[in-house]
Amino acid sequence: MIKKLLLFSAVLVLFAGVKSQNVEATTAQLGSIAAPAFSIKIEKNEHLVQNALNQRLKEADMKTQKIEGFTACLDQLFADIATIPINLYTKVERTGKNSCMVTVCAFPTDLSVNKESVQENTQKFLQGFVGYVTHIEAMGFLEEAMKSLKKAQKKLESAESSVAKIEKNISKEQEDIAELQKEIEKYNSKIAECQADIKKIEEKIGKRQKEKEEADQEVTKAREVVDKAMKEVEKYQKMGQ
């Protein structure tokens, strides 16, 4: 679907820039013979036009050779022009940066055959060839667009894969944080328990210290009693002597 849309858009743009061209009668110098021919000016780069012409001949299984500066197809059937064997001569000549002249000379191999229909069809071929060139150009643009699209799709897939990987890592790290928070809560609970135990022990220590103070007072009183008793004993010992 995307390929069809791209092709349709490319063809619209290209046909918008195609001007109506007229086929003109001319001659093709084949050695010493100036053979009747037809030409048409195409506002396209000559390399593109030549490639399109080569492509059309290849599609028709035409065997080519170079003769007198022309691409020649001798004694062959070329359905675009005739249903009988013909001699076909074609040439693409540059006339400007983005313009060229296409010349086609065609005549029956059997010169006794009426050649008028061949000449008429040669003109029709040239008129239709302008559209064919545009088609080939569109296909070239389409191929480049598809390459760019595939490259962009590959980058998109890579980016989406990276995002998915990052999201997975984030999810794992969030799980790690949740586990750590659980550990913190567990330790916080344990700390609270320990702090409660410390408070209880501190209370016990306070109670023990109070008991010690009371015991120390009892010890002091007991010592005083002992000292007093010792003095009484010493007194009576002296009296008995």
CATH of the domain at 117: 3.30.310.80
Phi-psi region of 77 (alpha: psi -120 to 50; beta: other; left: phi over 0): beta
Task: Please report the pLDDT score of residue 11 as a whole number.
Answer: 36
Q: Does 87 reside within a domain?
A: yes
**Structural domain total, the chain:** 1
Give Cβ neighbours of residue 84 (< 8 Å, ≥ 6 apart). Answer: 77, 108, 109, 110, 113
Q: How confident is the model at residue 238 (pLDDT cuts 50, 70, 90)?
A: confident
DSSP three-state, residue 95: strand
Mean pLDDT, residues 13-33: 71
Q: Is the pLDDT of residue 168 over 70?
A: yes
Q: Does 204 reside within a domain?
A: no
Task: Please report the pLDDT score of residue 21 as a whole number.
Answer: 65
The answer to whether the beta carbons of residues 121 and 81 sit under 8 Å apart is: yes
Q: Does 142 reside within a domain?
A: yes
Task: Please report the pLDDT score of residue 218 as a whole number.
Answer: 86
Q: How confident is the model at residue 19 (pLDDT cuts 50, 70, 90)?
A: very low
> Residue 56 sits in which domain range?
2-146
Reading the block at residue 10, the tokens are 């490319």
Q: Which of 25, 44, 137 is nearest to 93 (CA)?
A: 44
pLDDT in tens, 111-163: 887 788 899 999 999 999 999 999 999 998 898 899 999 999 999 999 999 99
Q: How far apart are CA 230 and CA 234, in angstroms?
A: 6
Q: Does 187 reside within a domain?
A: no
Q: Fill in the DSSP letter of residue 113.
A: S
Q: Does 55 reside within a domain?
A: yes
Is the pTM higher than 0.85? The answer reads: no
Reading the block at residue 115, the tokens are 């050649």
Q: Is the pLDDT of residue 241 over 80?
A: no
Q: Is the pLDDT of residue 77 over 80?
A: yes
